Amino acid sequence: MISAEKTRFKLTYAQLSAIGFLIIILVGALILSLPISSRTGEFTPFINALFTSASATCVTGLVVYDTYSHFSVFGQTIIMVLIQIGGLGFMTIAAMFFLMLRKRIGIKERTFLKESINTMHIGGVVRLVKHIIIGTVILEGLGMIVLSIKFSSEMGLKAGIFNGIFHSVSAFSNAGFDLMGRYGKYSSLTRYSNDIIINITMMILIITGGIGFIVWEDIWKNKHKFKKYKLHSKIVLSTTILLILLSTIGFYIMEKNNLFIDASFKESILSSLFQAVTPRTAGFNTIDTASLSEGSKLLTMVLMIIGGSSGSTAGGIKTTTFIVAILSVVSLVRHSDDLNIYGRRLEDNVIKRGYSIITIYILGAFLAMLLISIIQPELALSDITFEVLSAIGTVGMSTGITRDLVGASKFIIIILMYCGRIGSLVVLMAVAENRKNVIAKNPLEKIIIG
């Protein structure tokens, strides 16, 4: 990697990230549009190839084609590679090659890596990247073995192994792409709604990919000693567990007289648990998303907004941002100036960053809903809202309108997926001018809020 000091143009991490992901998406789109990537041997319209490439690179899972039915094995492999790059981040992938080639990683590159994996300290960042790579290989490998054995019994050895690899990578990266079109187009994992092995394996991969690399390191280092965990890890783990438990109960209650009316207790619990895990932000489904009750759809959208955790393969505003918002409300009600949790006080600027992320997220989603509603007024607003939140949260769940979108609407969804993966705040920082801090400040004056 060429040091930024030796280049004519110095890029910030935000700019490098925005440009890097854009290049990967465009290259992926070009390859996926080629005849070799489709089953029919024909060219794929570029807008649809671009949509698929963006969805894979941004680990979303929204599709305009059934992945198994439309793309060849070569095309499916390209999608899997894009998912892996998007899940780990291209900076981590680049660092992996540099480590393999025994190349020196300079201070600038270490700084970029620190930003890429959202760690708090530059010290030990290369070691952490090594652990991320090793951990990814081990976890995806274990998932691949379990899924390959299961799939091989019904698909044959060759197809079973490929499906095991593909779905393990897709689940760990929280991507939501599947190859179950062989049993029914756009069916996702509905075939396995009563299968404990498939459900548990996929959920473990989704959760481990979604809690973040920093949390891995903490768990590996401190094992079961929760008190020794970093505050970040404590918040992520406690919030994740609480959201899964409450959401599982919520889905079960709302669907027991709807989708679960003819299902066994075991299948109802498995489906409720999977439905609680997948919106944050994997995109697989074991039940028909379009047939969910209105309450379940609303709960799913809330989970899509929250998403996974910082420094992970997941999207959304992130669990820590969600907790900061909750704590700030509690702090205001209690007339406290500090945000306190687990015996620690949070930094003052964390509130500004948290609310900036939430504001940009909401405004971006609202604008997209408005534009798509104008472009395609025949679509139901509830379906548009679900689709938009799924895209910006890089979830991949849909009520089925993705393939009905026209070119302009698809392009809006592509932008949302792109911003959702690298972060809307990062996108704004990448295009904004670098301004120097001004020492002089404007006069202070109060306004009324609320």
Q: Is residue 55 pLDDT above 50, yes or no?
A: yes
- For the entire predicted model, the pTM comes to 0.88
pLDDT in tens, 263-321: 999 999 999 999 999 998 788 999 999 899 999 999 999 999 999 888 777 888 889 99
Please tell me the predicted confidence (pLDDT) of residue 192: 94
Cα–Cα distance, 188 to 203 (Å, whole number): 14
3-state secondary structure 10-22: CCCHHHHHHHHHH
Cα–Cα distance, 125 to 133 (Å, whole number): 12
Q: Is residue 411 pLDDT above 50, yes or no?
A: yes
**Residue 327: which of 343, 317, 316, 341 has the closest Cα?**
341
Q: Is residue 86 pLDDT above 50, yes or no?
A: yes
Please tell me the predicted confidence (pLDDT) of residue 8: 45
pLDDT in tens, 106-127: 666 666 666 666 666 666 677 7
> Which tops the pLDDT comparison, 103 or 319?
319
Please tell me the predicted confidence (pLDDT) of residue 7: 43
Phi (first) and psi of residue 345, to 5 degrees: -105, 135
Residue 399, class by beta-carbon neighbours within 10 Å (0-12 exposed, 13-18 middle, 19+ buried)?
A: buried
Compute the mean pLDDT over every residue in the chain, rounded to the nearest whole number.
Answer: 87
Domain boundaries of the chain, sorted by first residue? 9-429
pLDDT in tens, 351-398: 888 888 899 899 999 999 999 999 999 999 999 999 999 999 989 899
Total Cβ atoms within 10 A of residue 338: 10
Cα–Cα distance, 130 to 57 (Å, whole number): 22
pLDDT in tens, 197-231: 999 999 999 999 888 878 888 888 898 888 889 99
Please tell me the predicted confidence (pLDDT) of residue 2: 43
Q: Is residue 131 pLDDT above 60, yes or no?
A: yes
> Which tops the pLDDT comparison, 33 or 96?
33
Work out the percent of the chain whose per-residue pLDDT is above 90. 57
Please tell me the predicted confidence (pLDDT) of residue 6: 45
